[in-house]
Homo-oligomer: A and B are copies of this chain.
Amino acid sequence: MGLVVQKYGGSSVADAEGIKRVARRIVDTKKNGHQVVVVVSAMGDTTDELIDLAEQVSPIPAGREFDMLLTAGERISMALLAMAIKNLGHEAQSFTGSQAGVITDSVHNKARIIDVTPGRIRTALDEGNIAIVAGFQGVSQDKKDITTLGRGGSDTTAVALAAALAAEVCEIYTDVDGVFTADPRVVKRAQKMDWISFEDMLELASSGSKVLLHRCVEYARRYNIPIHVRSSFSGLPGTWVSNEAPLGGKPMEQAIISGVSHDTSEAKITVVGVPDKPGEAATIFRAIADAEVNIDMVVQNVSAAATGLTDISFTLPKTEGRKAMDALTRSQDRIGYDSLRYDDQIGKISLVGAGMKTNPGVTATFFEALSNAGVNIELISTSEIRISVVTRADDVKPAVQAVHSAFGLDSESDEAVVYGGTGR
């Protein structure tokens, strides 16, 4: 019986009842003979309420003080959780990110972890305590200032502590039962996977799946920490994310395909009438990068030989659309394009599975399924273990359903599944 790191999101500790329920689950783990380290997010809407307060006193809250503010949220939840555990007759101590030894760079609001020195956690465990750690936060190495880790920060805290403490597993408790073959709100017969590889999970995360963020999975893969994603409400086994399927685990029959993900949070920009000569794409994407806009897919159409002009399309978060369009407009003379087209009525569907490239049948089945569903494809992009297409936003739902069925991922029953978003 080794050391277990458990992470509970904001929805799991949204109120006093939730905190007491989580406390019982932690105590059960301890009773089973494990050492337990718990990483906890802020309660429910606390973070949003703090952001709202900040916006009332300052138009663009950011930087050191904003981090100091936001980290109050986890301080509240972790202290309450420790009290609730003590009330069940077990010893618990809570630790801020700084006390837990989560050392970061100095980039406030989206700091990166550069070291974890969990001496106080180790001592607390050795003395028989359950250690509760504030997620999402650390302390900067040079200035000793409080930092926050940005989106997905608490999951990353959990994986980083699991790595530093050589934990057996990092359990991520959330409000869904695990990782599904597709979003159950869209595909009724989506199935919970028992296991998925780090690589496939990375592709799912970067193509629209919200259960785990890319960053956290990447960290777990680097240190080879198995993640167990499961529900804090049901208590059922969830999905293991690891290098190899666990002994006794039951990989899906269609092992090659992990799942179908989708994303409707992106927009598409097409740069029309770009001179088809070397250096043009570089000029365009330098302008975008200088505006600090992250892009996703990039596609260049074949040049029309008669004109010597081509079109370049790319996708990006809708929230960055305005910034990217402004940057390109300012650079029109330098790039020398004809016009810009902005389209935010698109959706992206991705199929993820190991060994896809070496199975030509997969690509064919994918496009046949979309065709049979009457879905028009606007852009295509592929990687070693993923095919993504861009379609009209309205086509996303039927497209995901069609692909999910075509690859035999549908479960036999179509009972409703509870599913929701996850905290930070």
Contact = CB atoms under 8 A, between A and B. Distances in A.
A336 to B, nearest CB: 42
A236 interface: no
B53 A82 contact: no
A11 interface: no
Interface string A90-104: 001110000100000
Contact of A65 (B23, B59, B79): B79
B83 A58 contact: yes
Interface stretch (A68-76, A186-194, A275-283): A68-76
Interface string A206-239: 0000000000000000000000000000000000
A38 B76 CA distance: 24
A64 interface: yes
A283 to B, nearest CB: 37
Given A69-B75, A71-B75, A75-B71, A80 B57 contact: yes
What band does the interface of chain A fall in when counting residues whose beta carbon is under 8 Å from B? 35 or more
Contacts of A75: 68-69, 71-72, 75
Contacts of A56: 16
A118 interface: no
A53 B16 contact: yes
B50 A87 contact: no
Contacts of A64: 93-94
Given A86-B58, A92-B65, A93-B64, A72 B80 contact: no
A81 B54 CA distance: 9
A81 B56 CA distance: 11
Given A72-B72, A72-B76, A76-B72, A65 B83 contact: yes
A76 B57 contact: no
Given A16-B53, A20-B57, A57-B20, A78 B68 contact: yes
A19 interface: yes
A158 interface: no
